[in-house]
Structure 1
Amino acid sequence: MLPLAGGATGAHAAEGPSFLHGVASGDPLPDGVLLWTRVTPSADAVPGSGKGGPVTVSWEVAEDEGFRKVVARGTAKAEAASDHTVKADVRGLSPDTSYWFRFSAGNADSPAARTRTAPAEDADTPNLRFGVVSCAHYEAGYFSSYRHLAARSDLHAVLHLGDYIYEYGHEGYPLRGADTVRTVQPEHETVTLADYRLRHGHTKLDPDVQAMHAAHPLVAMWDDHEFANDAWSGGAENHTEGQEGTWADRRRAAQQAYFEWMPVRPSTGGTTYRRLRFGRLADLHLLDLRSFRDEQASIGDGDVIDDPDRTLTGRKQLDWLKSGLSASASRWRMVGTSVMIAPIAFGAVPAHLLGPLAELLGIPKEGLAVNVDQWDGYTDDRRELLTHLRDQHIDNTVFLTGDIHMAFANEVPVKAATYPEDAPVATEFVVTSVTSDNLDDVLNVAPDTVSSVAEAAVKATNGHVRWLDMDSHGYGVLDVDSERAHMDYFVLSDKADRDATAEVRRSYRTLSGTQRLEKADGPLDA
Structure 2
Amino acid sequence: MPDGVCKKAKIHHVSRVSFRRRTLLKAGGVAAIALSSAEVAVAAPSDVFVHGVASGDPTPSNVILWTRVTPGPSASPGSGIGPDCAVGWEVATDPRFRRVVASGSTTTGAARDHTVKVDVAGLAPDTWYWYRFRAAGAVSPVGRTRTAPALGASVERLRFGVVSCSNWQAGYFSAYRHLADRDDLDAVLHLGDYLYEYAPGEYQARDVVVRPHDPPTEVITLPHYRRRHAQYKTDPDLQALHARVPFITTWDDHESANNAWADGAENHTEGAEGSYADRKRAWQRAYAEWMPVRYEPGGVLYRRFAFGALAELSMLDLRSYRSEQVGSRLDHDVHDPARTITGDAQLRWLTSGLARSRAQWKLIGNPVMIAPVRFPSTLSIERRRALGELTGTPLVQGLPLNLDQWDGYTADRDAVFAVLRDHGIRNTVFLTGDIHSAWAAELPSSTRSYPLDRESVGVEFVCTSVTSDNIDDILRVRPQTASRAIVGAIRVNNPHIKHVDLDSHGFCVLDLTPQRAQMDWYALTDRTAPDSAAHHSTSYAVRTGTQQIEQVQEPVR
- TM-score band by shorter chain is over 0.9
Provide the rounded CA distance (Å) in 2 between the counterparts of 1:383 and 1:161.
Answer: 22
Matches within 5 A, 1:8-407: 18-174=48-204, 176-177=206-207, 179-266=208-295, 269-299=298-328, 301=330, 304-348=333-377, 350-351=379-380, 352-366=382-396, 367-407=398-438
CA distance in 2, matches of 1:102, 1:304: 52
Q: Secondary structure in 2 aligned to 1:74?
A: strand
Q: Kindly state the Cα deviation for residue 269 of structure 1 after the two structures are TM-superposed.
A: 4.3
Tell me how far 1:17 sits from its aligned partner: 6.7
| Helix, strand or coil at the partner of 1:418 | coil
- State how far apart, in whole Å, the 2-side matches of 1:176 and 1:15 are: 37
Matched, 1:508 2:537: no
- Describe the SS at the equivalent of 2:424: coil
CA distance in 1 between partners of 2:174 and 2:543 (Å): 31
Q: CA deviation at 1:300?
A: 6.5
Query: Deviations for 1:356-386, whole angstroms, at most 9, x for unmatched residues?
Result: 2212322113423421000000001101110
Alpha-carbon contact 2:288-2:296 (below 8 Å) kept: no
**Which residue, out of 497, 515, 528, partners 1:496?**
528
Q: Distance in 1 between matches of 2:256 and 2:219?
A: 9
Cα-to-partner distance string for 1:322-346 (whole Å, 9 max, x where unaligned) = 1100110100000011000000111
The code of the aligned residue for 2:437 comes to: M
Among 466, 474, 477, the residue aligned to 1:445? 477
SS at match of 1:197: helix
d(CA) in 2 for partners of 1:81, 1:349: 55
Stretches of 4+ moved more than 6 A in 1?
Answer: 13-17
Paired AA for residue 319 in structure 2: R
Letter in 1 for 2:469: D
SS at match of 1:417: coil
Is the Cα contact below 8 Å between 2:144 and 2:244 reproduced in 1?
yes
1:355 CA drift (Å): 1.0
Question: SS state of the match for residue 319, structure 2?
Answer: coil
Q: 1:349 to 1:53 in 2, by over 3 A?
A: farther
Check the 8 A contact 2:205/2:468 in 1, yes or no. no
Rate the CA distance shift 1:82–1:45 in 2: closer, same or farther, 3 A.
same
Question: Which position in structure 2 is the counterpart of 1:423?
Answer: 455
The corresponding residue for 2:505 is 473
Encode CA deviations 1:387-416: one digit per residue, 9 max, x unaligned: 110001001000000000000001011322
Q: Secondary structure at the match of 1:49?
A: coil
Give me the whole-angstrom Cα distance separating, in 1, the residues matched to 2:365 and 2:339. Answer: 21
- Separation (CA, whole Å) in 2 of partners of 1:294 and 1:151: 41
Cα 1:327/1:302, change in 2 over 3 Å = farther
Instruction: Tell me the CA shift for residue 422 of structure 1.
Output: 5.0
> 1:267 Cα deviation (Å)?
7.5
| Mapped partners of 1:16, 1:208: distance in 2 | 15
Shift of 1:57: 0.3
| Aligned 8 A contact 1:14 1:42 in 2 | no
Contact preservation (8 Å) 1:131, 1:478:
yes
Q: For the Cα contact (< 8 Å) 2:71–2:83, is it kept in 1? A: yes
Higher Cα radius of gyration: 2
Q: Note the alpha carbon deviations across 1:233-287, whole angstroms, 9 max, x for none.
A: 0100000001101000001000000010000012794231000000000000000
Distance 1:521 1:505 in 2: 10
How much has 1:417 moved relative to structure 2?
Answer: 2.6
CA distance in 2, matches of 1:289, 1:406: 19
Pick one of 436, 445, 458 that aligns with 1:414. 445
Per-residue deviation, 1:74: 0.6
Number of matched residues? 512
Q: Is the 8 A contact 2:45 2:141 kept in 1?
A: no
State the AA in 2 paired with 1:514. Answer: T
Alpha-carbon distance in structure 2 between the residues aligned to 1:279 and 1:194: 41
- Specify the SS of the correspondent of 2:65: strand
CA RMSD of aligned residues (A): 1.5
- In structure 2, how many angstroms separate the alpha carbons of the residues matched to 1:474 and 1:513? 29
Which one-letter code corresponds to 1:231 in the other structure?
A
- Is the CA contact 1:14–1:43 (under 8 Å) kept in the aligned structure 2? no
Change (3 A) 1:127 1:263: same
Structure 1 residues 236, 422: CA separation in 2 closer, same or farther (over 3 Å shift)? same
**Deviation per CA, 1:437-473, whole angstroms, max 9, x where unpaired?**
0011111111001011101111110001000100000
Identity of aligned residues (%): 54
The 8 Å contact of residues 45 and 140 in structure 2, kept in 1 or not, is answered as: no
TM-score by length of 2: 0.90
1:91 Cα deviation (Å)?
0.8
CA contact (8 A) 1:416 1:422 kept: no
Find the counterpart in structure 2 of residue 521 from structure 1. Answer: 553
1:520 and 1:302, CA in 2 relative to 1: closer, same or farther beyond 3 A? farther
Cα separation, 2, equivalents of 1:425 and 1:356: 30
TM-score (norm 1): 0.95
Question: How far apart are the structure 2 equivalents of 1:327 and 1:60?
Answer: 37
Which moves more between the two structures, 344-353 or 449-458?
344-353
Alignment partners' CA distance in 2, 1:41 and 1:17: 8
Task: Check conservation: 1:232, 1:291, Cα contact below 8 A.
Answer: yes
